[in-house]
Structure 1
Amino acid sequence: MKKVLIVTYYWPPAGGPGVQRWLKFAKYLPENGIEPIIYTPENPHYPLKDPSLEAEVPSELKVLKNAIFEPYAVAGMLSKKDTERISSGIIPKEQKQGFLQKFMLFVRGNFFIPDARKFWIKPSVKFLSEYLKEHQVDTIITTGPPHSMHLIGLELKKALGVNWLADFRDPWTQIGYHYKLKLLPASRKKHEKLEKEVLQAANKIITTSFTTQKEFLSKTNRPVEVITNGYDVEQVEKLPLDGKFSISHIGSLLSGRNPENLWQAFYELILENEDFARDFQLKLVGAVGEPVLESIQKWHLKDRLVLKDYVSHSEALQLQRSSQLLLLIEIDTEETRGIIPGKLFEYLVSERPILAVGPVDADVQKIIKETNTGSYFLYPQKREIKAYILEQYELFKKGELKAYPVGLQQYSRRALTRRLANQIKQL
């Protein structure tokens, strides 16, 4: 049986989709003749925690841990709220930033390259070099962000010549929030240099989106494969569908994900349709940026709004499956075309229709269309958004609102792990 060592910052009890990708791969790799070994920090700073995920870690899985120095823990002494938001990727608009926020962003962007976990690179290379000399491992896998994980792989490649597969859950220099980090020209060049080194040195690269694959293929001659995130067949207590016409967004709603036309469409439908006004409910579950809440208040939706903080993975699944319509929103920029949120795949199997709003030519649009799981709109398309919501509302009133998906099996965690195993065996 081949052995792979997986270097990941996010691991239970961390919450969010980033941890679930490799938790599920580790669960199913042994079925494909591959034994995974996890290497993760002993004392990480996780902005989100979901202790329920610890129960999913296979009992026989070997997990190696090594201490990490966390600057975010120190920054939290200055402002815990700002630190948690920045480490989660919630960055307010320039005009909304106070002096402390601007200072923290400047320091994060220019002194912690590629990210604040850079101090784990040298201790990890030392620890893993010693481990690999004593234990046979066929392939090293690094998964980022944080992209400092890839620099651990890069150094091990240089020192030991290991087979190395680099998994990019998000882009590096093209990630949506990169321009907000107040990078100096020298810092930007350093990011680009490190990204190029990783892309040229890894034996194989995996991305979670087709757009990122295309971007990386323009930067390296190494093979770049797409293995998206996916869904697992999970047994969760089934709740009855909401009695209200609930439109729910499950997961963080960052400040840039703020489609004014969507909120305005809700407001106009409330004014134009008495039944809709009585039945409509907007649910936002997870961290929500202040500009989003301000826009919702501006369009007089506060009385229809249900806010919930971060919930466990199992509760998130329940909320998805009991909602009438699921909302997916991405920032309206070219840089976000390749972002495919992990929750999309859970949405796909929820049997609830999806209302998605995002940029032109997004990968999400392709998947929703191919799987017949909802409709995708651009930010300016208020008239079309209104028509779709009204159409779904009429189905709700008849008790006929449901999704009819096709071709979902390709996105099951087991099927995706088989694809990953084939890529590993080819190294």
Structure 2
Amino acid sequence: MIIAPYWCDPQHLGQYRIERFVRWLSASGVVVTIIASAEQETFSKMEWGHLICIPDPLGIYGKKSDQRFSSNVQPKHAFVVKVRRRLRLLAYALLSPDPGVLWARRAMRHPLVKEYAGKADAILSSSFPESVHVAASHLAFRFQLPLLVDMRDGWLDEPMKPLLVSSALQRWREGLTEKRILKQASLITVTSERWKKMLVERLPFCREKTVAITNAYPPGSQLPHVIKKDQGRHLQLMYAGRIFSSRAERKIADLLHPLLEGLPKAHGNLIFVGDLSTAEIAGLRSWEERFRAINWTIEIRSLVPRQAVLELLTNADGLIMLSSSQASIPAKLFDYLVSGHPILAIASMDSIVGEISARLPQLFVAEYENIENATKRIEQFINACQECITYPLPDEFSDESTRQQFMAAFFDAVEKS
């Protein structure tokens, strides 16, 4: 059984990871039951098992409207954004570990969920949000099943919730919950070796049962057919996704200042594609004049479905990302790899992204706090873009490689329990 309230939202990053787990388990003969959120209570038989949907009292989860991909959607008024932000902070203060705990409690008490939990061999939950682990922990304890905890991000390590940064009381409260659940867990999976290191240093009892299983580029991925580009064509550099991060404050300047200093004074286009906030769009617009001075334009495009994004990436000359995390490997990196194009990461060399770049020639890391370093790395990145270098797909992040790691850890944990 997998607790994944966001399963019905195909654009949710967590859905991509759970989709891999379901596909791998099903291929190995494991019948999967997913507990998800939807507008209506439903039970469906699926090719891989069963889908039980429990309505979310707060409407946090579920499939989002296709209007998200419409260029006609207007940015929310600043006042509305401010009010919603304050209500969100209040909800996180009152509901621990997060507002999703109301759905989690409803799901874990539902008769159909309890019926299928009683038939399961293990309970798996994947955060963020951490409230999924509350439901999974309860069901695993009640039915004496092995608990498998998947942490796409840290809980108390580099926390995504502002309240965990600002409130010692909240850290203490959630720290107790995290420690109890992880002690109960038979297996803990994280998405990088750096996450594992940080977790084990803080909670040594996790050492023997924690396995790093990264995300992966899509199965069956092949490098696109390379078309020789016109030498007079302007360089097209693309950034996909949000700029600001939930985990730590990132500034537009962290991304654009190194580029302004390092890009050649030749004609080129910086293209941003994604569900950008009003603040992000305004931030980008404020830099347009400075980039025009070096013959570069900033182009902002609306959010499009993931498959369309993958196609756009192949048409660019180079790809750009920003990472302020020490432990997280940005999800966009795995989509970027499939393009075969050079990738510029504005990040710290001490981070996991910097560590990966040492064995991934496709990835150029420029440190935003070291402009001299950044300028040199951006120059190398631009040269690779101009030479139309195509990089091979790394086996390390392939679907098959991560499948083998996950299935070995899964069956080992279940058999030992």
TM more than 0.5: yes
For structure 2, the 5+ residue unaligned runs are 62-67, 69-77
Deviation, 1:41, is 1.3
Matches of 1:241 and 1:144, distance apart in 2: 43
Deviations 1:96-139 (A, max 9, x none): 99862553243132012111111122222223223233x3x211
Q: Answer whether contact 2:98 2:131 (CA < 8 A) is retained.
A: yes
Indicate whether 1:310 and 2:292 are aligned: no
What is the DSSP-based 3-state SS (H/G/I as helix, E as strand, rest coil) of the residue aligned with 2:51? Answer: strand
**Cα distance 1:318–1:186, how it changes in 2: closer, same or farther (>3 A)?**
same
What is the DSSP-based 3-state SS (H/G/I as helix, E as strand, rest coil) of the residue aligned with 2:211? Answer: strand
Indicate whether 1:246 and 2:236 are aligned: yes
**Cα distance 1:120–1:295, how it changes in 2: closer, same or farther (>3 A)?**
closer
Deviations 1:336-373 (A, max 9, x none): 21111222112123211110012352112222321221
**Cα distance 1:221–1:266, how it changes in 2: closer, same or farther (>3 A)?**
closer
Deviations 1:1-45 (A, max 9, x none): xxxx1111222433043211111221232333433222211239x
Deviation, 1:155, is 0.8
Matches of 2:330 and 2:52, distance apart in 1: 28
**Cα distance 1:58–1:110, how it changes in 2: closer, same or farther (>3 A)?**
same
For structure 1, the 5+ residue unaligned runs are 45-56, 74-80, 82-91
Matches for 1:293-308 after TM superposition, within 5 Å: 293-299=281-287, 300=289, 301=291, 304-308=297-301
Deviations 1:124-180 (A, max 9, x none): 2223223233x3x21111111111110011111321211110000111123443235
Q: Answer whether contact 2:367 2:373 (CA < 8 A) is retained.
A: no
Indicate whether 1:378 and 2:384 are aligned: no
Decide which of 127, 141, 164 is 1:158's aligned counterpart: 141
Matches of 1:396 and 1:26, distance apart in 2: 37
Q: Answer whether contact 1:200 1:220 (CA < 8 A) is retained.
A: no
Deviation, 1:416, is 1.2
Decide which of 31, 34, 37 is 2:33's aligned counterpart: 37
Matches of 2:213 and 2:334, distance apart in 1: 13
Matches of 2:320 and 2:37, distance apart in 1: 34
Decide which of 10, 22, 27 is 2:18's aligned counterpart: 22
What is the DSSP-based 3-state SS (H/G/I as helix, E as strand, rest coil) of the residue aligned with 1:206? Answer: strand
Name the residue aligned to 2:347: 358
Matches of 1:310 and 1:120, distance apart in 2: 28
Matches for 1:26-425 after TM superposition, within 5 Å: 26-43=22-39, 59-70=47-58, 72=60, 100-101=83-84, 103-127=86-110, 128-133=113-118, 135=119, 137-179=120-162, 184-217=167-200, 218-222=202-206, 223-232=209-218, 233-234=220-221, 243-254=233-244, 256-258=249-251, 260=253, 262-268=255-261, 273=265, 276=266, 278=267, 280-299=268-287, 300=289, 301=291, 304-331=297-324, 336-397=325-386, 400-405=387-392, 408-425=394-411
Deviation, 1:234, is 4.1
Deviation, 1:252, is 1.7
Deviation, 1:184, is 4.6
Matches of 1:15 and 1:250, distance apart in 2: 14
**Cα distance 1:234–1:58, how it changes in 2: closer, same or farther (>3 A)?**
farther
What is the DSSP-based 3-state SS (H/G/I as helix, E as strand, rest coil) of the residue aligned with 1:166? Answer: strand
Residue type matched to 1:130 in 2?
E
Matches of 2:80 and 2:166, distance apart in 1: 16
Q: Answer whether contact 2:349 2:365 (CA < 8 A) is retained.
A: no
**Cα distance 1:312–1:240, how it changes in 2: closer, same or farther (>3 A)?**
farther
Matches of 1:322 and 1:179, distance apart in 2: 37
What is the DSSP-based 3-state SS (H/G/I as helix, E as strand, rest coil) of the residue aligned with 1:212? Answer: helix
Q: Answer whether contact 1:28 1:414 (CA < 8 A) is retained.
A: no
Q: Answer whether contact 1:347 1:354 (CA < 8 A) is retained.
A: yes
Q: Alignment identity in percent?
A: 20
Matches of 2:352 and 2:127, distance apart in 1: 20
Residue type matched to 1:362 in 2?
S
Matches of 2:259 and 2:98, distance apart in 1: 39
**Cα distance 1:228–1:293, how it changes in 2: closer, same or farther (>3 A)?**
same
**Cα distance 1:351–1:63, how it changes in 2: closer, same or farther (>3 A)?**
same
Matches of 1:340 and 1:257, distance apart in 2: 16
**Cα distance 1:111–1:305, how it changes in 2: closer, same or farther (>3 A)?**
same
TM-score by length of 1: 0.79
Matches of 2:406 and 2:356, distance apart in 1: 20
**Cα distance 1:359–1:185, how it changes in 2: closer, same or farther (>3 A)?**
same
Residue type matched to 2:138 in 1?
E
- How many residue pairs were aligned? 380
Q: Answer whether contact 1:262 1:382 (CA < 8 A) is retained.
A: no
Matches of 2:322 and 2:228, distance apart in 1: 22
Q: Answer whether contact 2:128 2:151 (CA < 8 A) is retained.
A: yes
**Cα distance 1:58–1:352, how it changes in 2: closer, same or farther (>3 A)?**
farther
Residue type matched to 2:23 in 1?
K
Q: Answer whether contact 1:30 1:36 (CA < 8 A) is retained.
A: yes
TM-score by length of 2: 0.80
Higher alpha-carbon deviation: 17-26 or 169-178? 169-178
